[in-house]
């Protein structure tokens, strides 16, 4: 199962890249999208680690509801 | 939101809501359960709210209805727990009955949904509670921010 080993190396690296992007983006909507991508990759990592239960919860809460709440909050603010 | 977001939301929302109900209903034989399925269902509602605005969603999804659904889920859960009180609290009194009472087959099998006794019903109760709670969080947040925008 060499492919699984490669995935276990790539997915955490991509999570770190997404986290750096969240901190680096000036545009708030872009940062929220990067955060959603981080959550989705984290759900994939949970699935690879044989925890599909946690993966479904992470995909539902982290990738969908948190992003929706952030988008609603950012839309209520004004850009100067 | 833009027309692209609205069209995609119209196409995807029925599938997301149906998948959430599927995860709740199959909680005792596949990964997932009340909380996970409820979170998936509520994410579909959140997609609707983000795409179409809280005002339009509130026309058919009132806040007091969600409150009633959440209380109903809690009452169903604790009622099922008390229903087995003749033997013990949380006793699985449905085993052997025609409703969810089948004894599961031994070894690898395709899965029988009529197993588990009270556990699928408790999954449904938890699902009702989570759907109502998370939908109410997103709905109230969107309503509050949109009303604040009208005041300015």
Give per-residue pLDDT as tens, B63-83: 889 999 999 999 999 999 998
Strand partners, B102: B115
Reported as a single tens digit per residue, the pLDDT across A25-66 is 999 999 999 999 999 999 999 999 999 999 999 998 988 899
Q: Give this complex's ipTM.
A: 0.85
Which residues from B are below 8 Å from A when comparing CB atoms? Answer: 23, 31-33, 35-36, 39-40, 42-43, 46-47, 49-50, 134, 137-138, 141-142, 145-146, 148-149
Which residue, among B50, B30, B51, B32, has the nearest Cα to B40 in the 3D structure?
Answer: B32
B64-94 as b/e: b if 16+ CB within 10 A = eebeebbeebeebbeebbeebeeeeeebbbb
Global pTM reads 0.88
pLDDT band at A75 (very low <50, low <70, confident <90, very high): confident
- The DSSP letter of residue A75 is H
The whole-number pLDDT of residue B105 equals 80
Which residues from A are below 8 Å from B when comparing CB atoms? Answer: 52-53, 55-57, 59-61, 63-65, 68-69, 71-73, 75-76
- How many other β-carbons are positioned within 10 Å of the β-carbon of residue B58? 15
The whole-number pLDDT of residue B114 equals 85
Which residue, among B129, B23, B4, has the nearest Cα to B69 in the 3D structure?
Answer: B129
């Amino acid at each position: 199962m060499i492919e699984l080993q490669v995935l276990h190396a790539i997915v955490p690296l991509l999570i770190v890249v997404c986290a750096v992007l969240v901190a680096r983006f000036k545009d708030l909507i872009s940062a929220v999208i990067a955060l959603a991508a981080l959550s989705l990759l984290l759900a994939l990592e949970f699935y690879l680690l044989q925890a599909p239960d946690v993966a479904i919860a992470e995909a539902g809460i982290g990738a969908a509801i948190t992003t929706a709440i952030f988008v609603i909050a950012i839309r209520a603010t004004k850009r100067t | 939101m833009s027309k692209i977001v609205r069209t995609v939301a119209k196409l995807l929302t029925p599938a997301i809501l149906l998948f959430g109900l599927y995860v709740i209903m199959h909680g005792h034989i596949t990964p997932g359960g009340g909380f996970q399925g409820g979170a998936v269902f509520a994410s579909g509602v959140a997609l609707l709210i983000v795409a179409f605005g809280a005002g339009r969603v509130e026309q058919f999804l009132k806040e007091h209805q969600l409150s009633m659904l959440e209380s109903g889920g809690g009452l169903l859960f604790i009622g099922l727990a008390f229903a087995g009180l003749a033997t013990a609290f949380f006793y699985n009194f449905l085993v052997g009955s025609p409703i969810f009472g089948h004894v599961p087959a031994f070894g690898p099998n395709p899965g029988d949904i009529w197993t588990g006794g009270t556990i699928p019903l408790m999954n449904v109760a938890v699902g009702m509670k989570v759907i109502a709670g998370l939908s109410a969080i997103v709905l109230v947040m969107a309503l509050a921010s949109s009303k604040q925008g009208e005041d300015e």
